Amino acid sequence: MANESQNWVVMVTAKTPTNIAVIKYWGKRDETLILPVNDSISVTLDPNHLCTTTTVAISPTFQQDRMWLNAKEISLTGGRFQSCLREIRSRACDVEDKKKGIKITKEDWSKLYLHIASYNNFPTAAGLASSAAGFACLVYALGKLMNVKEDESQLSAIARQGSGSACRSLYGGFVKWIMGKEENGSDSLAVQLADEKHWDDLVIVIAVVSSRQKETSSTSGMHETVETSLLLQHRAKEVVPKRILQMEEAIRNRDFASFSRLTCADSNQFHAVCLDTSPPIFYMNDTSHRIISIVEKWNRSEEAPQVAYTFDAGPNAVLIARDRKAAALLIQRLLYYFPPSSDDLNSYIIGDKSIAKDAGI
């Protein structure tokens, strides 16, 4: 560390949106490396609506690695944080700022401590994929700070070790997480199927049914499912491989009828698998079920489907409208069935599908 003073701080800030799976990841074949039992496909959201902003800083004055999430200090001892930090540190390269007289060599990175401040602009751990945006942003920001030369796909394999779904947030647009075959997980990574400009008619409306933290985390829920559900075996081996191919084709052809059929069916099967777990896991509630009925009834009354629904590990509805007109009608319907005076829905978040991955450094 050939530096004139020891009082410097180098920092990087990145912003990463969350992603919503339309073909779900549920179940791991390796819990430490976070290797899934099936491929999955997601849509990355507009970073202005649901995103994590993370600042990573390094300084010789820091005494230990520390992290704050939404202004509250959290522990960094968890294996997942440590895996991401270890993987990034092992790929760090020299950084030099001649003007400020700072030089950090490859070897220095493992001796220096980090301070990390992360902020989610949406409810954390309420089934809105906060860990996806969180780990993707952390890995991306650390990669920039430490001058890591890997491309997004390689970074996605590191983010995956923080939280599986995080690997898909390294890209905008439509993204596939390939489950991979290797035991060490080197080929379990994300690839972009189509960029953020592809199929930009789609509008995403998130109906926030509850912003409370979910009772069963995705991690423990999917562990129980792998242990006890026979339906999961059938889903992972027989159903998802075919759906992935059909979904890729639907996205390529901007075929909303197929896209919506597959998205709704996959969400429903994911929740069926949760029910098939012992003890059963209930992520959706009565309001979620009412939203499904409203959308199903509406789609059936039209010549072609107008809206797709999908629910992650929580009761909040992610509704994907075929275009702006359908989105406006959807909001009208939601307001009719859940007037502002009712307690069933908290708020709506309306966003375009997918924008860029790395909003700013």
CB 159 within 8 A of CB 177: no
CB of 130 to ligand DP6, least distance (A): 9
Rounded CA Rg of the chain: 21
Residue nearest to ligand DP6 (CB): 164
Task: Please state the closest distance from residue 316 (CB atom) to ligand DP6, in A.
Answer: 11
x/- mask, ligand DP6, residues 109-148, rule CB under 6 A, reads --------------------x-x-----------------
- Give me the helix-helix angle, 130-145 and 79-90, nearest 10°: 30
Indicate the residue among 145 and 291 with the shorter CB distance to ligand DP6. Answer: 291
| Contact predicate 43/22, CB 8 Å | yes
Query: Applying CB under 6 A, which part among 17-25, 47-55, 57-65, 349-357 lies near ligand DP6?
Result: 17-25
- Smallest distance from the beta carbon of 216 to ligand DP6, in angstroms? 11
Site string for ligand DP6, 210-239 (x = CB under 6 A): --------xx--------------------
With contacts defined by CB under 6 A, name the span among 22-30, 250-258, 285-293, 294-302 that binds ligand DP6. Answer: 22-30
By CB under 6 A, the residues from 312 to 341 that bind ligand DP6 are 312-313
8 Å CB contact between 179 and 38: yes
| Minimum distance of ligand DP6 from residue 217's CB (angstroms) | 7
Evaluate whether 119 touches 177 at the Cβ level (below 8 Å). no
Least separation, in Å, of the C-beta of 235 and ligand DP6? 13
Nearer to ligand DP6 by C-beta: 4 or 215?
215
Please give the size of the binding site for ligand DP6, defined by CB under 6 A: 15
The answer to whether 333 and 298 are in contact (CB under 8 A) is: yes
Q: What is the C-alpha separation between 172 and 358, in angstroms, rounded?
A: 9
**21-29, 184-192, 235-243, 335-343 -> range binding ligand DP6 (CB under 6 A):** 21-29
Q: What is the rounded distance in angstroms from the CA atom of residue 287 to the CA atom of residue 317? A: 9
Supply the minimum distance, in Å, between the C-beta of residue 151 and ligand DP6: 22
Find the shortest distance in angstroms from Cβ 177 to ligand DP6. 8
Which pairing describes strands 113-120 and 66-69: parallel, antiparallel, or unpaired? parallel
Q: How far apart are CA 145 and CA 37, in angstroms?
A: 33
Which position among 24, 214, 353, 357 is part of the footprint of ligand DP6 (CB under 6 A)?
A: 24
- Which are the contacts of 133, defined by CB distance < 8 A and separation ≥ 6? 16, 17, 18, 19, 50, 51, 52, 120, 166, 169
* Smallest distance, ligand DP6 to C-beta of residue 321, A: 20
Label the pairing between strands 51-59 and 113-120.
Answer: antiparallel
* Among residues 17, 18, 25, 37, the one that binds ligand DP6 under rule CB under 6 A: 25
Task: Provide the mask over 35-54, with x wherever binding to ligand DP6 is found by CB under 6 A and - wherever it is not.
Answer: -----x--------------
Point out which span in 45-53, 117-125, 157-165, 287-295 binds ligand DP6 (CB under 6 A): 157-165
DSSP conformation letters of 202-230: -EEEEEES--SPPSS-HHHHHHHHHHH-H
Say if residues 250 and 262 touch (Cβ distance below 8 Å). yes
**Euclidean distance between CA atoms 134 and 286, whole angstroms:** 29
Q: Give the interface with ligand DP6 as residue ranges (CB under 6 A).
A: 21, 24-26, 34, 40, 129, 131, 163-165, 218-219, 312-313
